[in-house]
Structure 1
Amino acid sequence: MSLDTTWDTTALQQHLAAHPRDARAHYQLGLATIGGIHPSEHHAAVLDTALRHLHTAATLEPALHCAEVAALLVQDAALVRWHRQCPALDHLEQRLADRLSPAEAREITALVPAPGTAWWEALAVR
């Protein structure tokens, strides 16, 4: 997986129109939709779109753990707005985070900047 953080959302949408079962493209579009902005700063519709693509990627390819972790990070970071984010990962959540390669963790933390959240911190040390 490359660390290209300049994914073109229009090109990804067009690709998915022709290849709706491409899990990697759903994953990339989910991250690109967040676009390097803290999830708590997005409107609900943007978060819903990003999460739909991340969940679709995880459903289409269950071994694509980075999609599931990215969705959990987006959800946790969005809760910052209401001061309700996860205080710490439990051991099962930490095991899931540990399944990601350092490159996958860097990719997610670059595109979903949410320092101070439990998921982001778990990925940042990878």
Structure 2
Amino acid sequence: MVVLGLSLGLPALAFVMESGNYKVQSDSVNIGGLRSQSTSYRQESTVGEVATGISDSTTYRLKAGYQQMQEVFLSMTAVADITLEPSIGGITGGTGNGGTQFVVTTDSSAGFTVTIKTNSDTGMPIPSVLPPPLI
């Protein structure tokens, strides 16, 4: 039946499974596998999947198989350095306020998370106003 469908040139249908709570971007059907690790490596293998590997031409690139997940682009660029106001004296110390902006670019359907942290625990919160990720 599959051979007949392929020889007739019927359209192929592929769907991404999703709901309001989840999105399965890639799936795989296998019969087994194993995760192995030590202090110097971690590896995961699968058994039973056929036609895996990379196939390409001038018009497409196919990465077939469980281990051939999509590459994700993620870039973060600071718009400007932070300048503290007022300046903090080197001997006396003090408190200064500052702010900056940065641009995050990604093609990941999962979006991204930005965490801002100080290099010392002053007990003072760092307000962050971040827009929701664009998907």
TM-score (norm 1): 0.21
Higher relative contact order (CA 8 A, sep 6+): 1
The answer to which structure has the higher helix fraction is 1
TM-score (norm 2): 0.20
The answer to which structure has the higher strand fraction is 2
